[in-house]
Structure 1
């Protein structure tokens, strides 16, 4: 197997399907841009995330969101074309270009909520500056 880590933008919203065996799989595409100027090009990876993690993350894996995906890479042939595929072991949300009026991305807000301890904490008790690993991507 070939292990690979990529960082890029999601090209289309994630879709969760159920296989004939009853397993859940969430599929999404990630574009990785390389080069600069006239030699700039984008490689697209078809990513799959299996199980309940994929189901839970699907709402945040939307077009334009920036992610880091690690997993096993392979290729598949279809209609004479070769597609790069990545079976995701880990997905990290980095934020995205889907910003609201407050300037914070939907995926950054989701990552912030996921890191908050649950319990009796009042709303607004956690500030963005208390989370050192959730930078503001602009």
Structure 2
């Protein structure tokens, strides 16, 4: 039985520069992103936890890449779901072989709010709950007096059928 291979990457981080959008001669759009993701490591000498940034190059194709270029900016938090792609080429200046691994995004989720470029400023990570449905404020007004009605009589014990 042959083993199946899985090439899947999911990460969240912040953009380190504004998205770079370009079009291929075929008309297909391609957007380049760079995402910084922190990794926590314990410093062996001090015993303190240190954050180390890891940087990932991300390619987003088509209409999704156009949306990234339109709505994202440096510092904006994103979630990336995609696959790793390895490429190799000869350096034009030195002639040495070079290689890199990048992420080809299948989906990009915009995290935080539209104005939450740096992730700062409070508000729960940029999330502000909003609703398109107007609130009916009459439900929250002062209580209205209930009309007085005739007193309710209780049935006699002989009228109860059990």
Task: Give the unaligned 5+ runs of structure 1.
Answer: 110-126, 132-138
Q: How many residues align?
A: 111
TM-score computed with the length of structure 2 as normaliser: 0.55
> Retained in 1: the 8 A contact 2:76–2:119?
no
> Retained in 1: the 8 A contact 2:9–2:82?
yes
Q: Which residue does 2:147 correspond to in 1?
A: none
Bigger share in strand: 1
> Retained in 2: the 8 A contact 1:19–1:25?
yes
> Retained in 2: the 8 A contact 1:12–1:29?
yes
CA RMSD of aligned residues (A): 3.2
Instruction: Write the distance in 1 (CA, Å) between the matches of 2:99 and 2:72.
Output: 24
Task: Give the unaligned 5+ runs of structure 2.
Answer: 1-5, 44-49, 92-96, 133-162
Instruction: Write the distance in 2 (CA, Å) between the matches of 1:8 and 1:87.
Output: 15
Question: Which SS does the other structure have where 1:59 is aligned?
Answer: helix
Instruction: Write the distance in 2 (CA, Å) between the matches of 1:92 and 1:22.
Output: 24
Where does 1:1-138 land on structure 2 (aligned, <5 Å)? 2-36=7-41, 38=43, 40-77=51-88, 82-95=99-112, 96-98=116-118, 128-130=129-131
Q: Deviations over 1:49-96 (max 9, x none)?
A: 111121122122211111110001123356566533111111111124
TM-score computed with the length of structure 1 as normaliser: 0.64
Question: Which SS does the other structure have where 1:63 is aligned?
Answer: coil
Question: Which SS does the other structure have where 2:12 is aligned?
Answer: strand
